[in-house]
Amino acid sequence: MEVILRPDGESVAATAFELVLSALKAKPNLVLGLATGNTPLALYRRLREARLDLRKVRFFNLDELVGLGPRDPRSFQHFLRANLLDGLRVTPGNVRLLRGDADDLEQAAASYEAAIRKAGGIDLQILGIGRNGHIGFNEPGSSLGSRTRPKTLEATTLADYARGFPAGKAVPRFSITMGIGTILEARRLLLLATGGAKAEPIRRVVEGPVTSEVPGSALQFHPLAHVILDEAAGARLSRRDYWKWVYANKWRVGQ
Ligand code: F6R
């Protein structure tokens, strides 16, 4: 695991952008896994502004709320199109996003796994971290070997997502999400976290024991996982000085 501590959210995005760019240069037909949420927004803005030709890139995403179709403004698919994909030069056939309105979610999950395999596997997966330590919508207790499947959401997650829903309108209680096993098969992982609310989950992900109670801690098994944090999200790490020293002495990110 490589932990990179940056002063603020914009520098987190700049470092993540540099890493994504180097992956795109090395492999123009990169298979890129996207995350939804507030954390990657600054990175997505940089990707849009860079006006890159990403027509060869294949895109997948981590998760979706069950019951929401792609045109629903609260769906993750809509979020990713509005905040990233619609502003990029991409090939529509190369974009494969999970659908929350599938009739048969188990079947949708199996065909999603098959599509990832057909694309040759995910090269670079962008991740955020939930307050409860989830990655994707793998809530605490999820099997560390889990695959894409429907998953029941936890109360903290429902509370966090309730903000995007009109008052009185319930947040979907179920998601469809890549599993932890699916995520760990990506060749490279890029976990971003900003803000003090992420300090404790990040401490448990980076320094805690590997446990399904903190799904993000499974990243400790991955051979190439970058964890990019701002000062607030890294505030509870006991070896902050070590990580800063490592990064300061590194000649290029991600090599
Ligand atoms: C979203 C996802 C979630 C989020 C996490 C953090 O696709 O998989 O795991 O990454 O809930 O969300 P934010 O970034 O909004 O704090």
Q: pLDDT by residue (tens digit) across 165-198? A: 777 677 899 999 999 999 999 999 999 999 999 9
- Nearest-CA neighbor of 154 among 168, 170, 134, 169? 134
Strand partners of residue 125 = 33, 189
pLDDT band at 253 (very low <50, low <70, confident <90, very high): low
Q: Are strands 58-61 and 174-177 parallel, antiparallel or unpaired?
A: unpaired
Are 142 and 215 spatial neighbours (Cβ–Cβ below 8 Å)? yes
Structure tokens at 235: 């505030």
Instruction: Assess whether 63 carries a catalytic annotation.
Output: yes
Active site residue 94: no
DSSP lists the bridge partners of residue 127 as 191
Cβ atoms of 178 and 167 closer than 8 Å: no
For the question of residue 132 being annotated catalytic, the response is yes
pLDDT for 251 equals 61
For ligand 1, atom 4: residue with the closest CA: 128
Q: Residue whose CA is closest, atom 5 of ligand 1?
A: 130
> Shortest CA distance to 228 belongs to which of 44, 15, 17?
15
Q: For residue 34, list its beta bridge partners.
A: 61
CA distances from residue 47 to 13, 24, 130, 189, 253 in whole angstroms, order as listed: 10, 11, 23, 18, 17
Q: In sequence order, what DSSP letters do the residues of 13-48 get, joined into one string?
A: HHHHHHHHHHHHHH-TT-EEEE--SSTTHHHHHHHH
| pLDDT for the residue numbered 167 | 72
Give the residue-averaged pLDDT of 99-109.
97
Fold of 2-187+221-231: Rossmann fold (3.40.50)
pLDDT at 254: 56
Report pLDDT digits (tens) over 221-233.
999 999 999 999 9
pTM of the predicted structure, to 2 decimals: 0.96
* 30-81 pLDDT per residue, tens: 999 999 999 999 999 999 999 999 999 999 999 999 999 999 999 999 999 9
Q: Which of 64, 113, 123, 139 is catalytic?
A: 139
231 is a catalytic site residue: no
Q: With a cut of 90, say whether residue 252 has pLDDT above it.
A: no
Domain boundaries of the chain, sorted by first residue: 2-187+221-231
Residues with CB under 6 A from ligand 1: 35-39, 62-63, 76, 128-130, 134-137
Residue bearing the CA closest to ligand 1, atom 10:
128
